[in-house]
Chains A and B, each alone.
Chain A
Amino acid sequence: MIATNAWTPRIVGDPTDQPDDAPADGIETVRLLAEDGAATGHPSYSPLLNADQVREAYRTMFLARRLDTEGTNLQRQGQLALWAPALGQEAAQLGAISALRPTDMVYPSYRELSMAMHRGLDPVAVFQIMRGISHASWDVDAHHFGLFSFVVGAQTLQATGYAMGITLDGADEVVLVCLGDGATSEGMVNEAFNYAAVFNAPVVFLVQNNQYAISVPNSLQFRGAPAARAQGFGIPGIRVDGNDLLAVNAVVAEAAERARRGEGPTVVEAMTYRLGAHTTADDPTRYRSREEEQLWAGRDPLVRTERWLRDQGTHDAYFADLASEADALATDVRARVLALEPVGITELYDHVLAEPSPALVEEREQVRAYLANLEGR
């Protein structure tokens, strides 16, 4: 029995604590933590994570932030081809993924280091990609964590198809797929929204709206924000403060449970801000103001979560220990990244076809002989 999407958008009636710069489209931004980290009440949502769970999420956010900084440093030192920082988006990522079961599949975009860590991936696996060692090396099925998708938006259709498979199997799973505000302009993403709606697929689209597609701001990207647009596809669209760990978690948990009950997809638009550059190849000073960056630096999700944790009685010692752990992790990861050796080109033929064709085998042997001859000179 497929449930109908009998859903109405939450329109702001009496907004209690809305961001000053929330989009003026009448859609509420769900919040459970004020900017100073104080808990605020909400008529429909309440925190689902206890202090221990928030501490665990915060730990991953903090460690990921430290490694993120290390990634930019390593790129500046010529050790990585590129780095795509996620500074400022950690609460959106951890809030969402901590609302899932470990067996729920996640399709990341390409900025989800913290989610990868949450799923138990060795962070070096992400650095491998950025060092040009491997396109991806982790076992997707074992971690229920998909490949990074550098082709913007392509993953949304695949995630929807995976979710359609869950429905066919009658399995008790859901899918979370990550995309950005810019990606929502791609035809593929709009097809994914429609497929997910038509097939009532158990998929949650997490749009991390960090407000810029490289240099292009939301105002030049679309007129209907993702949460508003979802409704046109017959999908619930919910906007949440993406720097509020508890709110993202509660909203994604609700969406995941709806999907699990057979009530179909949801678009969650997590309003956040990319505190760093798009990638290390980018120069944000060309397109956004210092004032804007400072405003959002003041809304840092790590700071907000830390304040809440302190209010809940988390002691200094916890934060001091975590800082030490992060430094040790960064030192360890840096050393292991610098020691990474690429897979030889001839070994890459193993993964072109299930069984290499005779022509591929011949080419591989030619390359092997040629390289051996070069070394022999």
Chain B
Amino acid sequence: MVQLTMAKAITAGLSAAMARNEKVVTIGQDIGKLGGVFRITEGLQDRFGAKRVIDSPLAEAGIVGTAIGMAARGYLPVCEIQFDGFVFPAFDQIINQASRLRFRSSGHVTAPIVIRLPYGGNVGSIEHHGESPEAYFTPTPGLRIVTPSTPADAYDLIQQAIDCPDPVIVLEPKRLYHSLKGEVDLDAPPRRELSQAHVVRTGTEVTLIGYGPMVSTLVNAAKVLADEGRSAEVVDLRSVAPIDWATIEASARKTGRVVVAHEAPRTSGVGAELAARIQERCFFHLEAPVLRVTGLDMPYPPSRVETDYVPSVDRVLEACDRAFAY
């Protein structure tokens, strides 16, 4: 067991995958000498060389598009996109190309690429640096999207994503990169399946569902609720596409109340899919409507007011109060 930040856990996972399989390469802007803008690839070019840790020209469509081509030659490329707000030039390569190659080729061509995408707000930065774009990707058949909430999970998920035969976006909660430390067993096999949710805390009266940077907010809310004599279960989705419905439905049936939280805007967000499916499948078990605590239906705001935008413990508790009031 070692204590690692989430950033170092991802570095360790990448490094382990590259050491295990020489077909694993990584490509992105500034990932060589600089080690990436978040230093996630720090040291990798020294260890694996510039042929496997590739500084790309400044072009996101180029990064993802060439990764698809390298994958067709048997390589396993891990793409780094610098920030959430900069992924969109690569949108066509992700949505129209990587995600449906298997489908449109009757299974003959696949794109086992990984796209690492730092996301999430409350990092005090400028425009396009604090966004949560997952809902632009989640409706896309053929694409897997995972996001860790702990260093240990990050270590597992990056390696599982690389091993996965499907294209996988790993949404990395950038606010936790350097702020969250945790124990990581570098030799243990992955503790969960790639697309499996995790019940972080068990409870009986309300289920709090979140992912990535929201999980710690939900755990903190659950602790406050416990002090008030209320028992909350916290479910970390880990995979926002596909969603582990069995775990979600079991928890919803058990508690009868569900509050979903994410930083992305409310409208047509992941929470909308959760609310719809839960009411379809668990209607007679519910004591209250599924409630959402989310970012606001506006573009991400200037950072001095972002704490009013990103869901807080208080906003989660306020939603729980409403759920209990039914």
Q: Residues of A at under 8 Å CB distance from B?
A: 81-82, 129-135, 150-152, 182-183, 185-188, 213-216, 220-222, 281-283, 286-287, 342-345, 348-349, 352, 359-360, 363, 367, 370-371, 374
In the complex, the answer to whether B303 meets A352 with C-beta atoms within 8 Å is no
B interface, over-half SS: loop
In the complex, the answer to whether A287 meets B34 with C-beta atoms within 8 Å is yes
Q: How far is the CB of B91 from chain A (nearest CB, A)?
A: 11
Instruction: Return 29 A-B CB contacts under 8 Å, by A number.
Output: A81-B126, A132-B126, A134-B302, A135-B127, A150-B129, A151-B85, A152-B86, A183-B58, A186-B59, A186-B89, A188-B89, A213-B57, A213-B58, A214-B34, A215-B30, A215-B55, A221-B58, A282-B34, A287-B33, A287-B34, A342-B302, A342-B305, A344-B305, A348-B301, A360-B297, A363-B266, A363-B296, A367-B296, A374-B314
Complex formed: what's the CA distance from A345 to B303 in Å?
11
In the complex, the answer to whether A187 meets B57 with C-beta atoms within 8 Å is no
Task: Give me 10 other A-B pairs in contact (C-beta within 8 A), A133-B304, A214-B34, A286-B34 excluded.
Answer: A81-B126, A129-B127, A185-B57, A282-B37, A287-B34, A343-B302, A345-B305, A348-B305, A352-B297, A360-B297
Give residues 2-59 of B contacting A (CB, 8 Å): 29-30, 32-35, 37, 55, 57-59
In the complex, the answer to whether B308 meets A222 with C-beta atoms within 8 Å is no
The residue among A182, A342, A345 with the most chain B CB atoms within 10 A of its own CB is A345
Closest 5 CB pairs of A and B: A132-B303, A185-B57, A342-B304, A215-B34, A182-B58
**Residue B298 at the chain A interface, CB threshold 8 Å:** yes
Complex interface: chain B residues within 8 A of A345 (CB): 296, 301, 305, 308-309
In the complex, the answer to whether A150 meets B128 with C-beta atoms within 8 Å is yes
The count of A-to-B residue pairs whose CB atoms sit within 8 angstroms is 112
In the complex, the answer to whether A132 meets B62 with C-beta atoms within 8 Å is no
In the complex, the answer to whether B308 meets A135 with C-beta atoms within 8 Å is no
**Residue B125 at the chain A interface, CB threshold 8 Å:** yes
B contact residues, total (Cβ < 8 Å) = 40
Q: How far is the CB of A323 from chain B (nearest CB, A)?
A: 31
Q: How far is the CB of B315 from chain A (nearest CB, A)?
A: 7
**Residue B288 at the chain A interface, CB threshold 8 Å:** no
**Residue B182 at the chain A interface, CB threshold 8 Å:** no
Complex interface: chain B residues within 8 A of A132 (CB): 124-126, 302-304, 306
In the complex, the answer to whether A349 meets B124 with C-beta atoms within 8 Å is no
In the complex, the answer to whether A370 meets B296 with C-beta atoms within 8 Å is no
Complex interface: chain A residues within 8 A of B30 (CB): 213-216
In the complex, the answer to whether A348 meets B298 with C-beta atoms within 8 Å is yes
With A150-B85, A214-B30, A367-B308 known as contacts, the answer to whether A130 contacts B35 (CB < 8 A) is no
Complex interface: chain B residues within 8 A of A129 (CB): 126-127
Chain B: which residue is nearest A82 at the CB level? Answer: B126
Complex interface: chain A residues within 8 A of B62 (CB): 185, 187
The residue among A129, A150, A183, A282 with the most chain B CB atoms within 10 A of its own CB is A150
In the complex, the answer to whether A352 meets B58 with C-beta atoms within 8 Å is no
In the complex, the answer to whether B124 meets A81 with C-beta atoms within 8 Å is yes
Q: How far is the CB of B220 from chain A (nearest CB, A)?
A: 17
Give residues 43-80 of B contacting A (CB, 8 Å): 55, 57-59, 61-62
